[in-house]
Chains A and B, each alone.
Chain A
Amino acid sequence: MAKKHISFTLNRQNIDVLVEPRELLIHVIREQLQKTGSHIGCETSHCGACTLDLNGQSVKACTVLAVQAEGGEVLTVEGLLQNDKLHPLQEAFMQEHGLQCGFCTPGMLMRAYRFLQENPQPTEAEIRSGMAGNLCRCTGYQNIIKAVQTAAKNMASA
């Protein structure tokens, strides 16, 4: 299959890469670009383990073609750390025990990252509906909700 040349930014770095038109964004990011933080849990956009930020929106990269990222801005969990400083969400997930096996965590963090920009001071019910596209099998969500609340508080007072 003829490959196509695409360019985008990944975690603020310029990327040029050759992809097959049918290749999924998640595979290009994980396998070609070797950023393996985003995971694959279902391949049908139900679990959200592959959630990342594309042009200021949460997307599930298992059902986005890599060519759709052309000219775009992609942020993955690896890009949350800036100047060696953890994002308040990362701190809060550790603080509130918002993760166990860690498999859903990058997708959770990336959804929460975008969600808190959409709604900086959410109620519990708003967090529950705003993050409903991300599944976790370990935590029962309660501590993830706490982590998002803690991060929201810390970000507001920062």
Chain B
Amino acid sequence: MASTPEDKQRKENLAGIGCARKRKEDPRFIQGKGHYVDDIKLPDMVYGALVRSPYAHARIKGINKDAALALPGVLTVLTADDLKPLKLHWMPTLAGDVQAVLADEKVCFQQQEVAMVIATDRYIAADAVELVEVDYEELPALVDPHQAMVDDAPVIREDLVGKDEAGQGKRIHDNHIFSWEVGDKSKTDATFKKAAVTVKEEMLNQRVHPCPLETCGCVASFDKVNGHLTVHITSQAPHIVRTVVSMLSGIAESKVRIISPDIGGGFGNKVGIYPGYVVAIVASIVLGQPVKWIESRIENLSSTAFARDYHMVGELAADKNGLIQAMRVNVLADHGAFNSHAQPTKWPAGLFSICTGSYDIPVAYARVDGVYTNKAPGGVAYRCSFRVTEAVYVIERMIDVLAKKLAIDPAEIRRRNFIKADQFPYQSALGWSYDSGNYPAALDKVLEAVDYEGLRKEQAEKRARGELMGIGLSTFTEIVGAGPSKACDVLGVGMFESCEIRVHPTGSVIARIGTISQGQGHQTTYAQIIASELGIPSDQIQIEEGDTDTVPYGLGTYGSRSTPVGGAAAATAARKIRDKARKIAAHLLDVSEQDLEWDIDRFRVEGAPDQVKTMKDIAWAAYNNVPDGLEMGLESVNYYDPPNFTFPFGAYLCVVDIDKYTGETKVRRFYALDDCGTRINPMIIEGQIHGGLTEAFAVAMEQQLVFDESGSIHGNSLMDYFLPTFVETPVWETDYTVTPSPHHPLGAKGVAESPHVGGIPCFSNAVNDAFSHLDIKHINMPHSAFRVWKTIHAQGLDKRT
């Protein structure tokens, strides 16, 4: 049927999929009416503050609480000895290891949690922290992961001595956590042996921190009368918190309520369960009062989950035309003092095996070894799917290294190696089935938009004048939307996502989804999905997340899983409602279901365009006039177990100019083309890309958690830890292609992490490219002015003539 202006109007009225709808969450945020965890104030609430270790590695010889307890207003001081009778001084991690809740006889990283003071006021709690006397005997610290497995390395985890397993396979040294390998090693080795060209580089994805603007915190409130525990918490995965808290505390899961209120950014930092949360909960149970614990910025940067710290050796084997024949990667992963990285349980290196990227590489092998060091635990996905940033970095850098060796243009070598559009679904050498893609089209669109040839010409001219200009490319493929429950679980819970939809008699809707927004605009986009599926305007659809008492079990928001999995659950739940609505419509119109066709917001009888029942009519009828044998009401629940991951991709290009006297890098242009399949809200997508690129810029150029030889962390406040301001942040240009995912109900793939994952190698490639005419194969991140200047200076490029 041809679309009339009236049809178009009806469609627009829905403000559904594809509409740049303004955000529903904004009115409260712009008026200061957001509801973040530190805004919560409960009657009788008291404050917790943590005593933390000044040493990276030390034995605790004694703790004296007397002075702290004597301070008026201090209610209690909890240490590991107080938690022991409850068996809560250690807790399981998501990675199968255990982590000290409060240091048990020794500390293993600087700023480790040693005791918690509870006081009536946050100032008194802070005073009392200073009054807790801890007697330490300092031990030699292990900081460099490359020294973790030498014979006389200090043993960090005495609790694991003699155990040949720490939850993720066999250990070969006291400081070893796991070895994980994938691919065909012998075939890969054989291909390398006979290859015409091979390249090999060591490269580091330095230790960084997601650093959301709001730190982590909670308000734990135990009601002694009815045995109910309520925890308001900055969690990206509230249901997982509920399950873990129930397992740890012995309180029935039905009596534990976890509420994630508005969250001031997460970026992976708020996936894990931290000691502060556990002690606050214990304190609330002990005292029978609500306990608030909020991290300071220094605590956040020093102790809650860091990201990366992947020390990689990448290798490619190719023929003389640059066609890649094999890839080999060996990684040493620094997991800190406890293995509490947040990955699906079976994947100790996450989805690192996406490291063959967008290229048709016939054979590959990757191995990752995790080790303990005297640093904070973690290894979370910082605005990326699990270890995907590291994987994409190694392939996107290595392909440039290969291009340089063969004197092939970086765009051309990519084109030669791309998986072709007709190869999808594509089976990668390391076991993934890529859903869909069109990589050459994306790259060509970008090259044309920026006049790539012109840029290369300009670069050649500048080089002739002794100026430094770099052009970086990144043609990445991500793997997101974890994930199929047969492959992915967290502590045994499959990584499905859930949605419950209720259509009220008057036609408005409430939908509850197991994910949790941290700025992604779920209240806006999920409503658009349901609007298009149900034919009810998105303004009449209320979205609720984050309260485990009302929302069906979900795995939360991280790893770009909200649209791929939560969005699919929403669409599928809505389709169940539409199926029932069809039955009701047939009953009301006295025709058979087969005679009806769906038309934007109504069913109509085929061939009789005036015979219609709108969704609003049907909603009313669902509560008073349904066909025999059908239940009253109009609601549904869907637990969506995705058949596969989704594979968003993109082509990015970055142009930098480097000042050869100061080493300062100016990003002149950044052009980002993303393909996330079907686009739900273009305005929100663009906003996510701007933000992700800014975080990528931060990581590539400046961010790093630095430690000295004693394991002291340097730069753990915003004085030193780089967050880009208005001034440094480049201008972003965005573009897109649309290649829907064939297995997703809407064809959507997820987008928020692509700019971070694809952006980092793009910046790094641009800086490296500025030196590609010299005998320099690879420069590690971060590309700070000082580090870039050191490269320039070593080459003598800054000599004034």
> Measuring CB to CB, which residues of chain A are less than 8 angstroms from any residue of chain B?
20, 22-23, 27, 30-31, 34-44, 46-47, 49, 76-78, 80-81, 86, 90, 93-95, 97, 99-106, 109, 127-129, 131-145
Asked if B41 and A101 sit within 8 Å, CB to CB, the answer is no
Residue picked from A76, A94, A103, most chain B C-beta under 10 Å: A103
Q: Tell me, yes or no, whether B723 is within 8 Å of chain A by CB.
A: yes
Which chain B positions have C-beta within 8 A of A76? 32
Q: Tell me, yes or no, whether B173 is within 8 Å of chain A by CB.
A: no
Distance of A37 Cα from B34 Cα, bound (Å): 7
Asked if B725 and A132 sit within 8 Å, CB to CB, the answer is yes
Distance of A117 Cα from B520 Cα, bound (Å): 32
Asked if B719 and A31 sit within 8 Å, CB to CB, the answer is no
Tell me the smallest distance from the CB of B125 to a CB of chain A, in Å.
Answer: 13
Tell me the smallest distance from the CB of A73 to a CB of chain B, in Å.
Answer: 18
Asked if A140 and B690 sit within 8 Å, CB to CB, the answer is yes
Given contacts A39-B213, A145-B726, 18 further A-B contacts (CB under 8 A): A39-B264, A86-B31, A97-B23, A97-B684, A101-B212, A101-B518, A101-B519, A103-B212, A109-B30, A128-B726, A129-B727, A136-B213, A137-B265, A138-B691, A140-B691, A140-B692, A140-B693, A141-B729
Tell me the smallest distance from the CB of A18 to a CB of chain B, in Å.
Answer: 13
Could you list 21 examples of A-B contacts with CB < 8 Å? Answer: A38-B32, A44-B717, A46-B719, A47-B213, A47-B723, A81-B31, A94-B26, A97-B687, A100-B265, A101-B214, A102-B30, A103-B36, A104-B264, A128-B727, A137-B213, A137-B695, A138-B265, A138-B687, A139-B690, A140-B693, A143-B690
Q: Tell me, yes or no, whether B799 is within 8 Å of chain A by CB.
A: no
Contact with A along B11-34 (1 / 0, CB 8 A): 000000000001101111111111
Asked if B719 and A101 sit within 8 Å, CB to CB, the answer is no
Q: Tell me, yes or no, whether B288 is within 8 Å of chain A by CB.
A: no
Asked if B694 and A140 sit within 8 Å, CB to CB, the answer is yes
Asked if A42 and B717 sit within 8 Å, CB to CB, the answer is yes
Which chain A positions have C-beta within 8 A of B695? 137
Which chain B positions have C-beta within 8 A of A142? 690, 729, 731-732
Asked if B31 and A47 sit within 8 Å, CB to CB, the answer is no
Which chain A positions have C-beta within 8 A of B33? 37
Q: Tell me, yes or no, whether B183 is within 8 Å of chain A by CB.
A: no
Q: Which of B32, B686, B727, B732 contacts A37 (CB 8 A)?
A: B32
Q: Which of A39, A86, A133, A144 contacts B214 (CB 8 A)?
A: A39
Which chain A positions have C-beta within 8 A of B684? 97
B35 closest partner in A (C-beta): A36
Q: Tell me, yes or no, whether B38 is within 8 Å of chain A by CB.
A: yes
Distance of A76 Cα from B723 Cα, bound (Å): 25
Q: Tell me, yes or no, whether B262 is within 8 Å of chain A by CB.
A: yes
Asked if B25 and A44 sit within 8 Å, CB to CB, the answer is no
Q: Tell me, yes or no, whether B263 is within 8 Å of chain A by CB.
A: yes
Secondary structure at chain A's binding surface: helix, strand, loop or mixed? loop
Distance of A38 Cα from B297 Cα, bound (Å): 16
Distance of A28 Cα from B677 Cα, bound (Å): 48
Which chain A positions have C-beta within 8 A of B686? 97
Secondary structure at chain B's binding surface: helix, strand, loop or mixed? loop
Asked if B263 and A44 sit within 8 Å, CB to CB, the answer is no
Which chain B positions have C-beta within 8 A of A49? 213
> Given A35-B32, A102-B519, A135-B213 in contact, is the A47-B718 Cβ separation under 8 Å?
yes
Distance of A76 Cα from B731 Cα, bound (Å): 30
The 8 closest A-B pairs by CB, nearest first: A37-B32, A103-B264, A102-B29, A101-B519, A140-B690, A100-B519, A140-B694, A46-B718
Distance of A121 Cα from B31 Cα, bound (Å): 24
Asked if B717 and A41 sit within 8 Å, CB to CB, the answer is no
A94 closest partner in B (C-beta): B26
Tell me the smallest distance from the CB of A108 to a CB of chain B, in Å.
Answer: 10
Asked if B265 and A103 sit within 8 Å, CB to CB, the answer is yes
Tell me the smallest distance from the CB of B518 to a CB of chain A, in Å.
Answer: 6
Residue picked from A22, A35, A43, A137, most chain B C-beta under 10 Å: A137
Contact with A along B595-634 (1 / 0, CB 8 A): 0000000000000000000000000000000000000000
Which chain B positions have C-beta within 8 A of A103? 34, 36, 212-214, 264-265
Q: Which of A30, A138, A145 contacts B519 (CB 8 A)?
A: A138
Asked if A104 and B213 sit within 8 Å, CB to CB, the answer is yes
Distance of A22 Cα from B213 Cα, bound (Å): 25
Which chain B positions have C-beta within 8 A of A105? 29-30, 34
Q: Which of B38, B265, B725 contacts A40 (CB 8 A)?
A: B38
Q: Tell me, yes or no, whether B407 is within 8 Å of chain A by CB.
A: no
Asked if A135 and B725 sit within 8 Å, CB to CB, the answer is yes
Tell me the smallest distance from the CB of B380 to a CB of chain A, in Å.
Answer: 15
Asked if A140 and B732 sit within 8 Å, CB to CB, the answer is yes
Which chain B positions have C-beta within 8 A of A39? 36, 38, 213-214, 264
Which chain A positions have C-beta within 8 A of B214? 39, 41, 101, 103
Q: Tell me, yes or no, whether B147 is within 8 Å of chain A by CB.
A: no
Q: Tell me, yes or no, whether B583 is within 8 Å of chain A by CB.
A: no
Interface residue ranges of B671-687 to A (CB < 8 Å): 683-684, 686-687
Contact with A along B704-742 (1 / 0, CB 8 A): 000000000000011100010111010110000000000
Q: Which of A22, A43, A46, A136 contacts B296 (CB 8 A)?
A: A43
Which chain A positions have C-beta within 8 A of B26? 93-94, 99, 102
Which chain A positions have C-beta within 8 A of B694? 137, 139-141
Which chain A positions have C-beta within 8 A of B587? none
Distance of A86 Cα from B31 Cα, bound (Å): 8
Which chain A positions have C-beta within 8 A of B520? 100
Tell me the smallest distance from the CB of B521 to a CB of chain A, in Å.
Answer: 7
Q: Which of B687, B717, B718 contacts A143 (CB 8 A)?
A: B687
Tell me the smallest distance from the CB of B671 to a CB of chain A, in Å.
Answer: 14
